[in-house]
Amino acid sequence: MKFVATLVANPLERALDDAFVSSTAQAISAREIRWLAPRTACDLVLPVSMKREEAETVLAELASGKPIDTAVQHSTTRRKAGLIADMDSTMIDQECIDELADFVGVGPLVSQITARSMNGEINFETALRERVGLLKGLPVSVVEEILKSRITLAAGGKELVATMRANGAWTALISGGFTRFTTAISKKLGFDEHRANVLIEKDGCFTGEVIEPILGREAKADALSAIATAHGLSPAQFIAVGDGANDLGMLALAGTGVALHAKPIVASQTRIRIDHGDLTALLYLQGYQQNEFLA
C-alpha cells in the first residue's frame, strides 16, 4: 500500500521551512517532496516498504515541540467525497450554549458543564438537558444578537466547504447544539445541509426544554451513515472533523476523522490531529494545493 505523509503548519505562522522538510524527508527515506503551499504544507511520498505506524512514530518525534501537524494516509483514498463537521469550537470559535447562558447570568456554571461534557467526563445528553434547563425564559431574539456580536467563523472554514463543494463533495454541519444557530452558520459557510437539536419555544421565549431524542454522540455517527447512504456513498468516503467527546463516534466512522484543536480525550483517540493549523489543513490532508482553494 502506498502512503503519503502530510506536514501542515498554521498559514499565519508559515513555520514549515525547507530545512525541516528536507531533514524529515531524509529520515523517512521519502521518495518525493510535493509542496502544497509555501512554508505551510507539503506531502512526502513514503517508500513502499515503510509501514504507516513506523512513519507516524518517526514524524511525531521529529515534529515534537514544533508548531507542525503531521498525518500519514493511503495516497489513493485520502481525497473524500463528503464532509461532516461539528459546529461549536470547530466551524465557529465559540460554544453557542455558553453564549446563551451568559445572557441569563449562569455563564460560568454552564461553561463548566460544557467543558466536562466535551471532555467525556459526563454524559452528553444529560449535560445538555441540564444546561438547556437553565435557559428557561430567555427571549428567542437573543440568538440573533449573539450571532451578530459574539459568534466568529473559524479560520479556513469557508475555504474548506467551498473547495470541497466545488470538487463535487457533499457537506453537512452536524451539531450537538441548536438549529437556531446551525441554520445561520451553515448558510454563512455554504454547507449543503445541517442537523442539530431543537430548543422548544413558547411565547417568544425558550421553555428550558429540548426536543427528544437529543442529537448526541451516537446520533452524530448515525447522521453520517444516513447522509452517506442518501448520496450513494459510504462513511469511508467522508472526512469528519470535531473537537469534543460527542464527536468521537463520527470521527471513528468516517474514512478520515480529524481532531481539530481537540479536547484531550478526543486527541488521544483520534489518529489524525490538527493542533496548530486551521480548517484548511483538512484540504491539505486530502492533497489539495493552496492555489486550488476557493473562498
Give the span between the Cα atoms of 213 and 98, in whole angstroms.
21
Model confidence band, residue 1 (pLDDT cutoffs 50, 70, 90):
low
* pLDDT score, position 103: 86
Condensed to tens digits (0 to 9), the pLDDT of residues 103-143 reads 889 889 899 999 999 999 999 999 999 999 999 999 999 99
- Asked about 17 being catalytic, the answer comes back as no
Q: How far apart are the first and last CA of the chain?
A: 34
Torsion of CA 160, 165, 169, 173, to 10 degrees: 60
Selected catalytic residue, list 43, 69, 86, 98? 86
Q: Is 250:220 a contact under the CB 8 Å cutoff?
A: yes
Interval 5-20: pLDDT, tens? 999 999 999 999 999 9
- Structure confidence at residue 73 (pLDDT): 98
Determine contact, residues 5/25, Cβ cutoff 8 Å. no
pLDDT for res 219 = 96
CA nearest neighbour of 189 among 222, 155, 162, 227? 162
Q: By C-alpha distance, which of 17, 10, 32, 34 is closest to 287?
A: 34
Question: Is-contact 98 35, C-beta < 8 A?
Answer: no
Q: How many CB atoms lie within 10 A of CB 198?
A: 14
Check pLDDT > 80 for residue 216.
yes
Residue positions counted in the chain: 295
Q: From edge to edge, which strands make up the β-sheet containing 41-45? A: 32-37, 41-45, 3-9, 68-74
Whether 43 is catalytic: no
* pLDDT average, residue stretch 188-200: 98
> In whole angstroms, what is the distance from residue 97 CA to residue 128 CA?
9
When the pLDDT of each residue in the chain is averaged and rounded to a whole number, the result is 97
- Collect all residues with Cβ–Cβ distance below 8 Å to 175 and sequence separation of at least 6: 86, 87, 88, 181, 182, 194, 195, 196, 197, 215
Q: Which of 43, 88, 98, 278 is catalytic?
A: 88
pLDDT at 112: 92
Q: What is the mean pLDDT of residues 12-37?
A: 97
pLDDT in tens, 239-284: 999 999 999 999 999 999 999 999 999 999 999 999 999 999 999 9
Structure confidence at residue 180 as a pLDDT band (50, 70, 90) = very high
The burial of 280, by beta-carbon neighbours within 10 Å (0-12 exposed, 13-18 middle, 19 or more buried), is given as buried
Sign of CA dihedral 68, 74, 79, 81: negative
* Number of other residues whose CB lies within 10 A of the CB of residue 233: 17
pLDDT tens for 50-107 read 999 999 999 999 999 999 999 999 999 999 999 999 999 999 999 999 999 998 898 8
